[in-house]
């Protein structure tokens, strides 16, 4: 017996040029395994709850600065029981609540607080930008190639109880980090602006770089997340255990695709030219030329 499985790509566009105008309708009218593409908008698509797995993909979170449409913005995200296997990518979100294991958050700007109180496992954040607090008292989490930059009071990062986080290739730029039961490697800290209590990273250990002078670490003439690129001559260059950069823009040897992507922008194809021959019939070929680029 042959079995077939199909997954659809559903477009939600608040401007009316997609399959649905609301994210709620897109979720309701899709099935487990479908991909929902969230078109950029200056307005938020609002809060969502997933109880079956979906892939939600946007166009990045500073899309307007590249000449593309505005960010793909969601409110709060609740990953409830049954949503195992969901993927959020290239989105701007508020608070994310986890009640189910095996979730992937990729290239997202997370503006809301993350509080992980459920004993979920297999939660992975990759290439994300955290601008608020992160606390974990129960979950098993991995965070790679991500940036933490928050000026909020209190602990920007707090890990306690049975909570566990493995940090790899992360950049810690601002905030008060209270870290317990955690590991870190190939990370980068501007210790002039980060308070570590207890100590998270020691300079030169596990490929980590801790430096008090941020102007020696990072580019200084760029804006938003661009600032976190390492400057020429930075002590973070070739400092990781693999000889690559430490911090979010570093990556394990042979995996450059793991490096942080500025502003969470996916490689969205854009057709720039289309030409075709004048005519064709059953005995001749029709010549078609498509020219495309990506961001």
User: Cα dihedral sign for 199, 205, 207, 209?
Assistant: positive
Please give the Cα distance from 82 to 104 (Å, whole number). Answer: 14
Please give the Cα distance from 165 to 124 (Å, whole number). Answer: 10
Residue 180's pLDDT is: 61
Residue 260's pLDDT is: 93
Residue 101's pLDDT is: 97
Paired with 38 in beta bridges are 12
Candidates 125, 137, 152, 151; CA nearest to 248 is: 125
Classify the phi-psi angles of 107: left when phi > 0, otherwise alpha if psi is within -120 to 50, otherwise beta.
left
As assigned by CATH, the class of the 9-267 domain is mainly beta
Structure tokens at 288: 């078609």
Question: What is the rounded end-to-end Cα distance, in angstroms, of the chain?
Answer: 43
Convert the pLDDT of each residue in 40-93 to its tens digit.
Answer: 888 899 999 999 999 999 988 875 555 556 789 999 999 999 999 999 999 999
213 or 142, higher pLDDT: 142
Q: Average pLDDT, stretch 183-204?
A: 82
- Which stretch of 77-81, 204-208, 217-221, 242-246 has the lowest confidence by average pLDDT? 217-221
Residue 10's pLDDT is: 92
- Domain locations in the chain? 9-267
Convert the pLDDT of each residue in 241-268 to its tens digit.
Answer: 888 889 999 998 889 889 998 888 876 5
Tell me the pairing of strands 288-294 and 92-93.
unpaired
Residue 173's pLDDT is: 84
**pLDDT bracket for residue 204 (50, 70, 90):** confident
Convert the pLDDT of each residue in 98-109 to its tens digit.
Answer: 999 999 999 999
**What's the whole-number average pLDDT of the chain?**
84
Contacts of 53 (CB under 8 A, 6+ apart): 32, 33, 82, 83, 84, 85, 86
């Amino acid at each position: 017996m042959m079995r077939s499985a199909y997954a659809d790509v559903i477009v939600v566009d608040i401007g009316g040029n997609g399959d649905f105008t609301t994210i709620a309708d897109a979720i309701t009218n899709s099935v487990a395994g479908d991909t929902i593409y969230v078109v950029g908008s200056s307005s938020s698509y609002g809060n969502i709850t997933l109880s079956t797995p979906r892939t939600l993909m946007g166009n990045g979170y500073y899309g307007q600065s590249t000449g593309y449409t505005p960010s793909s913005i969601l409110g709060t995200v609740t990953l409830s029981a049954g949503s195992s296997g969901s993927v959020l990518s290239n989105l701007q979100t508020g608070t994310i609540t986890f009640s189910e294991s095996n979730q992937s958050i990729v290239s997202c700007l997370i503006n809301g607080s993350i509080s992980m109180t459920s004993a979920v496992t297999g939660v992975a954040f990759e290439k994300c930008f955290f601008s608020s607090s992160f606390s974990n008292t129960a979950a098993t989490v991995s965070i790679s190639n991500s940036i933490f930059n928050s000026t909020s009071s209190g602990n920007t990062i707090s890990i306690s109880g049975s909570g566990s986080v493995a940090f790899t290739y992360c950049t810690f730029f601002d905030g008060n980090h209270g870290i317990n039961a955690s590991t870190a490697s190939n990370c980068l800290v501007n210790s002039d602006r980060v308070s570590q209590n207890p100590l998270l990273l020691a300079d030169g250990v596990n490929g980590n770089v801790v430096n008090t002078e941020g102007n020696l670490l990072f580019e200084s003439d760029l804006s938003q997340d661009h600032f976190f690129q390492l400057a020429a001559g930075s002590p973070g260059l070739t400092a990781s255990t693999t000889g690559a950069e430490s911090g979010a823009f570093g990556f394990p040897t042979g995996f450059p695709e793991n490096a942080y992507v500025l502003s969470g922008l996916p490689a969205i194809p854009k057709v720039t030219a289309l030409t075709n021959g004048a005519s064709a019939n059953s005995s001749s070929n029709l010549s078609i030329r498509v020219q495309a680029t990506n961001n």
